[in-house]
């Protein structure tokens, strides 16, 4: 628990945060008793992602995978065996309205592609798609070649050649063949990712996510990280770190570095803010009520059984014969006992930011636990099925 009080976030890992903090320190004045100042809101810029490719390449499934949306959900991009995209169609991320993913038919989409932060070309073999890639490259914009349905390719190969099937060898052949076709159209050093839209923790999907994070400008990196599916424990921790940076930024903007006397109460306004923060952490990390219901259905267990395993759904519930103030005081005492770092130096952070960090770490640990539970269930299912 004490890791988040060991100091500010790692500069080597979060250089974008350091530059943001410098800007805040230059443009903001600390809030004082004589001149109260409402902290400005943190503004996140919009992020537009374009996806294009030939019919049957898996565009809609890819868009749903990026958004973490199931194919049968109402908000899903329609998936079909025939061409379903006749005109460019925007799809908002379900949790982050600033992120829009565009499904492009490939005709007349050059203007939108130029203004997008990221462009994905799925199974690009058409001349139009490759010409678009060349134009994007001249503009020095980010674009990526994606070969989806690689799981189907492997399955078909194994069925047709059960005795000589070699998974890694087949993947290598698929990659080399795809790269060769792209290079034949005079596109050097293409970034190619082999993925499965139905299993985003396998193949190149995690590698692709890491690449996108590195390629995006700093001001859009945080919002993109929050949108990513929770596919690995490292991805979950990275998302936690991104949300933690927002807490630090809010604290700095609010003029928190000051000697704040500890009082055994939380105001109604602060409690509402904590409730909203906890709900957002649970949604972004996939531990909200809807996600728990979905997981319980997969595991074929009552959702109450999952709720008993984790703390986050009841973090704002008092124990028997305990007041709200005593509950928050209990959390703060635990935080300070395990703290150190800033607290050890005599610098007290405002209670609400301490509690936000505590809640965020708790939700992250809950998510990692549930992920391990599902992995064990998946392994047992594969063994006995």
> Which helix (H) or strand (E) segment is 42 a member of?
none
> What are the residue boundaries of the structural domains of the chain, listed by start?
2-38+232-384, 47-223
Q: What's the pLDDT tens digit per position in 124-135?
A: 666 777 777 777
- Give the strand pairing for 89-92 and 99-103: antiparallel
Q: Which positions ≥6 away from 108 have C-beta within 8 Å?
A: none
The total of other beta-carbon atoms located within 10 Å of residue 41's CB is 8
Q: What's the pLDDT tens digit per position in 29-51?
A: 434 343 344 434 445 678 888 88
Report the pLDDT averaged over residues 73-80. Answer: 80
How far apart are alpha carbons 229 and 223 in whole angstroms?
13
Nearest to 182 by CA among 132, 216, 110, 112: 132
CATH-assigned architecture of domain 47-223: 3-Layer(aba) Sandwich (3.40)
First to last CA, the chain: 39
Question: Are the C-beta atoms of residues 63 and 197 closer than 8 Å to each other?
Answer: no
pTM of the model: 0.66
Q: What are phi and psi of 194, to 5 degrees?
A: -100, 120
Q: What's the pLDDT tens digit per position in 260-312?
A: 444 445 667 777 888 888 888 888 888 888 888 888 888 888 888 888 888 88
The residue to which tokens 């990712």 are assigned: 193
How far apart are alpha carbons 150 and 190 in whole angstroms?
18
Q: What's the pLDDT tens digit per position in 173-194?
A: 999 988 888 888 888 888 899 9
Report the pLDDT averaged over residues 313-331. Answer: 66
């Amino acid at each position: 628990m004490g890791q988040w009080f060991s100091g500010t976030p790692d500069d080597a890992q979060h250089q974008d945060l350091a530059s943001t903090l410098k800007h805040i320190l230059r443009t903001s004045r600390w809030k004082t008793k004589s001149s109260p100042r409402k902290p400005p809101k943190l503004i996140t810029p919009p992020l537009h992602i374009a996806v294009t490719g030939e019919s049957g390449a898996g565009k809609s499934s890819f868009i749903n995978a990026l958004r973490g949306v199931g194919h049968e959900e109402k908000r899903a991009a329609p998936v079909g065996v025939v061409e379903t995209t006749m005109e460019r169609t925007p799809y908002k991320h379900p949790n982050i309205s600033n992120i829009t993913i565009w499904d492009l038919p490939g005709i007349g989409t050059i203007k939108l592609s130029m203004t997008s932060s990221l462009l994905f070309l799925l199974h690009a073999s058409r001349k139009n798609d490759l010409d678009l890639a060349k134009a994007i490259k001249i503009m020095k914009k980010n674009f990526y070649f994606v070969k989806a349905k690689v799981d189907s390719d492997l399955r078909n190969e194994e069925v047709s050649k059960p005795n000589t099937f070699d998974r890694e060898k087949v993947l290598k052949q698929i990659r080399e063949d795809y790269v060769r076709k792209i290079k034949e159209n005079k596109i050097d050093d293409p970034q190619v990712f082999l993925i499965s839209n139905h299993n985003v923790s396998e193949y190149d999907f995690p590698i692709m996510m890491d690449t996108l994070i590195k390629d995006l400008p700093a001001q859009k990196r945080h919002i993109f990280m929050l949108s990513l599916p929770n596919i690995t424990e490292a991805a979950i921790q990275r998302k936690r770190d991104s949300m933690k940076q927002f807490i630090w930024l809010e604290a700095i903007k609010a003029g928190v570095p000051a000697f704040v006397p500890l009082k055994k109460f939380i105001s109604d306004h602060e409690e509402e803010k904590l409730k909203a923060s906890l709900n957002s952490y649970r949604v972004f990390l996939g531990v909200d009520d809807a996600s728990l219901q979905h997981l319980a259905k997969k595991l074929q267990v009552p959702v109450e059984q999952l709720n008993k395993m984790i703390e986050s759904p009841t973090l704002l519930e008092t124990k028997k014969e305990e007041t709200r103030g005593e509950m928050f005081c209990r959390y703060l005492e635990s935080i300070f006992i395990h703290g150190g770092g800033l607290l050890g130096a005599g610098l007290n952070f405002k209670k609400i930011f301490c509690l936000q960090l505590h809640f965020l770490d708790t939700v992250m640990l809950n998510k990692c636990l549930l992920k391990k539970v599902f992995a064990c269930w998946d392994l047992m299912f594969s063994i006995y099925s």
